[in-house]
Amino acid sequence: MRVCFVSNSASRYGSEIALLELLQGLLKLNVECLVLLPEKGPLLVELDRLGIQWRIIKYPPWISGNKSIPHRLIRILKAIVMTVWVAREISQWHCDIVYTNTIWTGTGAFAAWLIGKHHIWHFHESEQYNFGLKFDLGLPVAMWLMSHLSKLIIVVSRSLQNDYARYIKRDKLRLVYQSVTIVDEIEKPNGSSPSGQIFQCVLVGSIHPLKRQKEAIAALFEVSRRGINAQLLVVGDGSKRFKAALRQQVEDYGLTQQVKFTGYLENPVSVMYKADVVLMCSRWEAFGRATVEAMLAGKPVIGTANSGGTAELIQDGITGLLYKAGDHDELANKIQFLYENPQEKLKLGAAARLWATGRFTQERYAKETFTLLSEVLMMEKTVPPNLSN
């Protein structure tokens, strides 16, 4: 089986890391892989390490924050040109299936349609919570095309499945939880802060309003006001403007010694191991890789109860704690509870690790995806659909 993967970037963020783990698993199942990317980046180093072929073709995204008609038209015209280039590349490589790993670009799907190849779409992102970005062709048209240009669409959570079921038939949406592998050769503390030491909270995620770092900082201010010696480590990079606003918030609260910004960390689990609790304050998560990483590290997670994939991963009071998004006082109460009940903190962390271990393995992820790939190959040979209908 020969599969051509289309990535939206060569970075090492959530969807790209998931792609790497999938590729590693598929290689063990003797699947030949080619990866197309629109740019150079750190992902190429990992592909070379795995011995996976890659090509750079500068296809554009079909999602953008720029709503001006001229910019959208230029991007659409560029996408048409790049579609022909991508189609030629995958045809010459003699692939069986084209696999687009993101909703950010439609080039792979159009190229597969152009030469009559099977296509699978893998949704790691939500059309509803995509940071205010818009499809160049408009949402209804984009959803119609995603459905009609794909044999199957893989989603990473039940929440995401429900999100897209408004536009796409549910039997075409297949749920496959991605794998999460953590580096386990890290020196681990004993898991409990000695009396009088700082209670360490960690929040991992891109710096963006939807990740609600402001909420975590407000909660830290509240627990500090109650006399708890706590610290918040904010891990991630992103909007410079929003980071400046966060730093101003920290200064206004007088928390410059209690809140630290680490920037992007390739292995955030290294700081999770040293933490007492991991916070997941996002307004919405398609899956929640950082949540699973924390669970595998044996750390309790306090997450939002109404934030998509997060609530699928945490059983409140059993493998972690949930709070209502937007309520920083409730978040502060949960932090205080774990601070005052160290044995409960350890119990939640141990239960989380037990639950997560074995559920998010690379082997399971690859086998479930391979089954879907095989199912697609058994389908009738792709005939380009009449897009005018």
Percent of the chain with pLDDT over 70: 93
CATH number at 165 reads 3.40.50.2000
Residue numbers of the domain that contains 8 = 2-179+361-378
Whether 194 is covered by a domain: the verdict is no
One domain for residues 101 and 242:
no
Residues 162 and 129 in one domain: yes
Are 88 and 220 found together in one domain?
no
- Transcribe 180-248 into DSSP letters: ------S----SSPPTTS-EEEEEES-BSGGGTHHHHHHHHHHHHHTT--EEEEEE--B-HHHHHHHHH
Confidence of residue 366 (pLDDT cuts 50, 70, 90): very high
pLDDT value at position 212? 92
Check pLDDT > 70 for residue 190: no
Contact (Cβ atoms closer than 8 angstroms) between residue 112 and residue 90: yes
| Shared domain check, 43 and 101 | yes
**Model confidence, pTM:** 0.88
Condensed to tens digits (0 to 9), the pLDDT of residues 38-64 reads: 999 999 999 999 999 999 999 999 988
Type of residue at 69: I
The pair of three-digit structure tokens given for residue 236, joined into one six-digit string: 């991630």
On whether both 128 and 53 belong to a single domain, the answer is yes
pLDDT in tens, 238-256: 889 999 999 999 999 999 9
Cα–Cα distances in angstroms (integers) from residue 29 to residues 47, 314, 363, 370, 373, in the given order: 17, 31, 9, 8, 12
CA distance 188 to 163: 38
Residue 186 covered by a domain: no
Tell me, yes or no, whether 11 and 147 share the same domain.
yes
